């Protein structure tokens, strides 16, 4: 039986052989992003973070969420 040789992953970077320093355009974009993030920390920031977390949870488990919601509605309608 022949076993294939172990291969080492060939990593590739976007620097294309140059140094991996940041460019002035990248730093400018990062600064604009950081400024935008800083302005978003208003009164509703915590509520928005919670809503985004809930959306991420529900979206990744949509079938389970629908089954649980259906069971909950069914249990409530059975009780009343």
For 66, the token pair is 């629908």
pLDDT of 9: 58
Assign 68 to helix, strand or coil.
helix
Mean pLDDT calculated for residue range 5-19: 63
For 32, the token pair is 């604009």
Q: Which residues touch 24 (CB under 8 Å, ≥6 apart)?
A: none
Query: Percent of the chain scored above 90 by pLDDT?
Result: 18
Mean pLDDT calculated for residue range 48-71: 89
The reported pTM is: 0.35
CB 63 within 8 A of CB 71: no
pLDDT of 15: 65
Gap between the Cα atoms of 68 and 76, Å rounded? 12
């Amino acid at each position: 039986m022949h076993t294939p040789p172990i291969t080492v992953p060939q990593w590739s970077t976007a620097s294309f052989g140059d140094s991996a320093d940041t460019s002035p355009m990248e730093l400018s974009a990062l600064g604009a992003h950081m400024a935008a993030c800083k302005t978003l920390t208003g009164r509703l920031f915590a509520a928005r973070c919670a809503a985004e977390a809930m959306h991420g949870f529900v979206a990744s488990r949509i079938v389970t969420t629908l089954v649980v919601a259906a069971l909950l509605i069914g249990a409530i309608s059975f009780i009343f």
